[in-house]
Amino acid sequence: MVFRIFGILFSFLFLSPVFSQGISGSRLEEIQKRGELRVTGNRNFDPFYISDPKDGFPGFDAELGKKYAEFLGVKYTFTNRPEFEDYAEAIKSGEADIAFSGLSSTLERSKKGSFSSPYLVSTPGALVNKNALPPPPEGNIISTVYFRSVKDLESVSGLSFSVRAFSASHEYLLSIFPNSRIFTYGSMESAWNSVKEGQANCFVGDSLYIKGLILKQRSILSNFRALIEPVQENHVSALLPKGDIYFSRNFEFFLSELKRTGELKSLEDKYFNRNDWVK
């Protein structure tokens, strides 16, 4: 009985998310001492960050970072960086504490930092030029071939793809369409622009990014078909310092509370299911 009581007490004092904030050596202690949470991400990534936002619509990840700083009782500061490698290096050096930037977790990326549990789940999706799709059989009003996901394009010949290099969507394309023409770019915006300019006829990217594009400009659907039904799970997570279990536990508690109360779902609806954020 004595050992059982001691075990419960140990768990409460040392593993509780609240008490872990003061553990010596954790980044949490540094954050609280300086009174500031340093967040990094890519500010040119609608709707995770909105570069010229309407009042009350800074972007999904911007709001999430601010909510976490509020939970910790510290000031929120943000520094813009373009790529995952930049986030990982900034967190390792102490220039940033955490990264929110629509990041998909992968085994390779996990070598550079610790990923939280996902706060959004997406999939590789596509915007394919309708002219590249086969017409319905003659005499049929509705085609018997349905295109809802990227995988459905396996039966279509003559496709060329445009994708952000080294992304989860790029990895998926290489595995499913190894013999197709695949053009790679440094950003999803550049990849999408290349398709609009006719250099390829199918853009492949994160389904949440595609949702954002369509919310900003519904006219896209007049020339392109959106394929966003799931083909695999991409876990959008926060990147934290590697090996800092107290910081990780604290953030996981914060995230679980947002999920429990429905606040995280409301935030998702605000940016990915409505277009009130669009100017």
Question: What pLDDT sits at residue 166?
Answer: 87
Note whether residue 31 is domain-resident. yes
Give 236-262 pLDDT, tens digit per residue. 999 999 999 999 999 999 999 999 999
Q: Please, which pLDDT band fits residue 3 given cuts at 50, 70 and 90?
A: very low
Same-domain pairing of 152 and 227: yes
**What pTM was computed for the model?**
0.85
Same-domain pairing of 52 and 32: yes
In total, the chain counts a number of residues equal to 279
Note whether residue 156 is domain-resident. yes
Task: Say if residue 9's pLDDT is above 90.
Answer: no
Note whether residue 209 is domain-resident. yes
Task: Say if residue 144's pLDDT is above 80.
Answer: no
Note whether residue 22 is domain-resident. no
Note whether residue 216 is domain-resident. yes
Count of structural domains within the chain = 2
Same-domain pairing of 100 and 48: yes
Give 182-227 pLDDT, tens digit per residue. 999 998 999 999 999 999 999 999 999 999 999 999 999 999 999 9
Same-domain pairing of 88 and 153: no
Give 114-133 pLDDT, tens digit per residue. 999 999 999 999 999 999 99
Note whether residue 13 is domain-resident. no
Percent of the chain surpassing pLDDT 70 = 88
Higher pLDDT, residue 65 or 135: 65
Same-domain pairing of 77 and 215: no
Range of the domain at 43: 27-119+237-273
Give 48-95 pLDDT, tens digit per residue. 999 899 999 999 999 999 999 999 999 999 999 999 999 999 999 999
Same-domain pairing of 225 and 245: no
How buried is residue 8: exposed, middle or buried, by Cβ count under 10 Å (0-12/13-18/19+)?
exposed
Same-domain pairing of 197 and 223: yes
Note whether residue 21 is domain-resident. no
Question: What pLDDT sits at residue 25?
Answer: 84
Which is it for the CA torsion 19, 22, 24, 25, positive or negative? Answer: positive
- Closest alpha carbon to 101 in 126, 119, 89: 119
The residues that bridge with 224 in the sheet, in sequence order, are 129
Task: Say if residue 140's pLDDT is above 50.
Answer: yes
Q: Give kind and range of the element (H or E) at residue 9.
A: helix 2-10
Same-domain pairing of 156 and 201: yes
Same-domain pairing of 229 and 241: no
Average pLDDT over residues 11-20: 44
Same-domain pairing of 163 and 36: no
Same-domain pairing of 242 and 114: yes
Q: Please, which pLDDT band fits residue 139 given cuts at 50, 70 and 90?
A: low
Residues 156 and 225: their CA atoms lie apart, in Å, by 14
Question: What pLDDT sits at residue 145?
Answer: 59
CATH number for position 102: 3.40.190.10
Q: Is the peptide bond before 82 cis (omega within 30 degrees of 0)?
A: no
Q: State how beta strands 181-185 and 160-164 pair.
A: parallel
Note whether residue 10 is domain-resident. no
Task: Say if residue 12's pLDDT is above 50.
Answer: no
Give 160-190 pLDDT, tens digit per residue. 999 999 888 999 999 999 999 999 999 899 9
Same-domain pairing of 48 and 108: yes
How buried is residue 75: exposed, middle or buried, by Cβ count under 10 Å (0-12/13-18/19+)?
middle
